[in-house]
Chain A
Amino acid sequence: MTAEMTGADILIQALNDLGVEVVFGYPGGAVLPIYDALFKQNRIRHILVRHEAGAVHAAEGYARSTGKPGVVLVTSGPGATNAVTGIADALLDSIPLVVLTGQVGTPLIGSDAFQECDTVGITRHCTKHNYLVKDPAQLGDVIHEAFHIATSGRPGPVVVDLPKDVQVASALYRKPSVQALPHKGYRPQVKADPALIEEAVAMIAAAERPILYTGGGVINSGPLASQVLRELARVTGAPVTSTLMGLGAFPASSGQWLGMLGMHGTYEANMAMNKADLIVCLGARFDDRVTGRLDAFAPHSKKIHVDIDRSSINKIVRADIGIVGDVGRAMEDMVKIWKAGQHQARNLAPWFEQIDGWRARKSLKFPASTKEIMPQLAIRKLWEATHALKPIITTEVGQHQMWAAQHFDFEGPNKWLTSGGLGTMGYGLPAAIGAQLGNPNALVIDIAGEASIQMNIQELGTATQYRLPVKVFILNNEYMGMVRQWQDLTYAGRYSQSYSDALPDFVKLAEAYGWKGVLIEKPEELEAGIAAMLEHDGPVIVDCRVAKLANCFPMIPSGAAHTDMILEADEVVGEMDDEAKALV
């Protein structure tokens, strides 16, 4: 007979049983019993952030770069509400997180007690699932189930709200089996219907102009899925494009790679989507950044959609074949059936000829300048100096994020961490911290904008405290460039509140936190500045002053068709009608 333990000890024991190594957190009154239990053990490492938003993004970075769930511990009230943005971010980007929040004691719930908020109510629609644990005897099961739910099926954040009295009270704990978990109705479908796979393979084999449109689901599925994707591409010979979230699943150096698709995707990727006769969507969700105007989206094609979440299928675009299941396993089955049926890749030469025609437009080219640093060039130089080291790149949100997606070529999965769905400024620095913790020997670089970086700038201290050698490479254009770009396009260049005024001296700021600061002001300083960043074995901020008014192209304006891409900078400044203004 095992002895009773306190709720706090049950929690720690359950985390241990689940193999948790790192918790990102911030203490407060409602979680003091848990912090005391943490103090008395040394298996779980607690990383003290500077703001709860930082804790959640760090956990996201840890999760996305390692494939393990990220774990967060915050106090009640403001601790929980500060975590909400990161939780919503993880939901939209399908990142597995377990967020433990303190709560006032059960007798006080609902009484407007000190630091009380309805955490379960607030996070109900930005979590995959959430719990309020009222009985320490159920705590163990709930924690195990929370991890199971966060990491299985379509991954996502799970919040467990822990009243203080439950942390203190005693109960028995035993490690439950997955079958014994409370919610019997939760059984995500992993294995796809073989009949549908057969049908899909036949369709691919018959297509003249197929394209594989891959997404974050391939990354979610695990590194094996990226390998299988390469095999599927090899046997079918089809060209491959990816969403922002799927970058790295397919190597950018492959001749079948078309680059990213969508709003800031390449001309060849978007044109190929438009002219394809078959789109094979693998773990992507037809986001509006990708489809553009829906009634003009890929009008000539049949669609196969593989997704582990049934609700993703037919949500935006109707699929001719909808396949529910894990994309890695589904692709494995496809390759097997392809080989068993001795299908030969069709002669896709005419299709690739057409694609080469689009490639010849060189949609990612950018104007050269000897006076100013073109932001695209800065990314390119960063890639040249670091790609051999297989760095992990995080980003903030804005133009710099899109330039990074366009000009930094990825060869493998889990190396590209960006906030795609929610588009959360302030994601990159804490995500880099989390990634560095999960990958101590990796080179981790946050490609940042000067506005975004200020949203979680306090996390500089976290990196200093834990001696994490993360690099922050700021493309400083003194503008909220992405906002300014939309103001160029939509509001005739009326730059309402998009100038980054009163910027700090980033070099001095770095130094104030014990970081190294590097300033790059001229194109000829780029290489040396990047080298100085790489030479330093601690954390570095690079303040790279780039062309202030550069805009990010190609671009499909909101609500436009793939064929209506803007390729050149001089086509843009103008005013749009209300229909366009109503779109995001």
Chain B
Amino acid sequence: MHIKQEATERHTLSVTVDNESGILARIAGLFSARGYNIDSLTVADVTEDEKISRITIVTTGTPQVIEQVVAQLDRMVPVHKVTDLTALAPHVERELALVKVVGTGDHRIEALRLAEVYRARVVDATISSFIFEVTGGTEKIDKFLELMREVGLIEVARTGVAAIGRGKEAL
């Protein structure tokens, strides 16, 4: 017997929640308990009084699963609002990566040149290493990392996706 797989889509969700203890465990736990995927999850409080946090979740699933993810998040008691940015409207997605590259000679020069193309900033340097700071969409960062692997990448830290809808309306 084989377990069947179905075609999936990638969606970016924005979830505003009461900023209370255990909230992240509740959200993350929902995904594991119901077998949903989390590709990336970021969280920070976003209101002046620090009472509301905004969580950005990138998830993949069949359209039916995505609809369930939204509905399941929405029914949680501390959740105020769930927005499927991917379904809603054009939006901007960014993440930041810190990328450590070690090398000398041609590799080092090539790393710098590529960094320039990708608008990555050098935030730390030694004789044999650089740390680049790069921001952009997930694909851009993936591509940058792919190139850096060729020229001495040894460590990466990524923030995960933050996303916001385009235009003058707020969520």
Contact = CB atoms under 8 A, between A and B. Distances in A.
B75 A309 contact: yes
Contact of A183 (B68, B74, B77): B77
A129 B77 contact: yes
B81 interface: yes
B74 A310 contact: yes
Interface in B113-169: none
Contacts of B67: 314
B83 to A, nearest CB: 13
Contacts of B79: 185
A582 to B, nearest CB: 6
Contact residues of A: prevailing secondary structure: loop
Interface stretch (B21-29, B38-46, B93-101): B21-29
A154 B17 CA distance: 20
Nearest to A309: B75
Nearest to B33: A125
B1 A582 contact: yes
A314 B33 CA distance: 19
A390 to B, nearest CB: 35
A185 B33 contact: no
Contact of B18 (A183, A309, A314): A183
Contacts of A125: 29-30, 33
A321 to B, nearest CB: 16
A183 B18 CA distance: 7
Given A149-B77, A185-B80, A314-B64, A124 B25 contact: yes
A311 B75 contact: yes
Contacts of B61: none
Contacts of B80: 184-185
Interface in A324-347: none
A315 B81 contact: no
A124 B29 contact: yes
A311 B68 contact: yes
Nearest to B79: A185
A100 to B, nearest CB: 18
**Which of the four size classes fits the interface of chain A?**
20 to 34
B75 A185 contact: no
Contact of A310 (B29, B64, B71): B71
Interface in B5-26: 16-18, 21-22, 25-26
A432 B81 CA distance: 41
A120 interface: yes
B77 A185 contact: yes
A121 B67 CA distance: 26
A570 interface: no
Nearest to B74: A310
Contacts of B22: 120, 124, 132
B78 interface: yes
Contacts of A128: 77
A582 B1 CA distance: 9
A109 to B, nearest CB: 11
Interface string A108-123: 0000000000001100
Interface in B23-75: 25-26, 29-30, 33, 64, 67-68, 71-72, 74-75
Contacts of B33: 125
Contacts of B76: 129
Contacts of A124: 22, 25-26, 29
A17 interface: no
A318 B68 CA distance: 12
Contact of B77 (A120, A186, A578, A579): A186
Contacts of A120: 22
B77 A315 contact: no
B77 A310 contact: no
Nearest to B1: A578
Contacts of B64: 314, 318
Contacts of B17: 185
A311 B19 CA distance: 23
A314 B65 CA distance: 10
Contacts of A153: 75
A310 B1 contact: no
A185 B81 contact: yes
Interface of A: 120-121, 124-125, 128-129, 132, 149, 153-154, 182-186, 309-311, 313-315, 318, 577-579, 582
Top 4 A-B residue pairs of the complex, sorted by shortest distance between their CB atoms: A311-B71, A185-B80, A578-B1, A129-B77
Given A132-B21, A154-B75, A577-B1, 11 more contacts: A121-B25, A124-B22, A124-B29, A128-B77, A149-B77, A184-B18, A184-B80, A185-B77, A186-B77, A578-B1, A582-B1
20 contacts: A124-B25, A124-B29, A125-B30, A129-B76, A129-B77, A132-B21, A132-B22, A153-B75, A182-B18, A183-B18, A183-B78, A184-B80, A185-B17, A185-B18, A185-B77, A185-B78, A310-B74, A311-B71, A315-B68, A578-B1
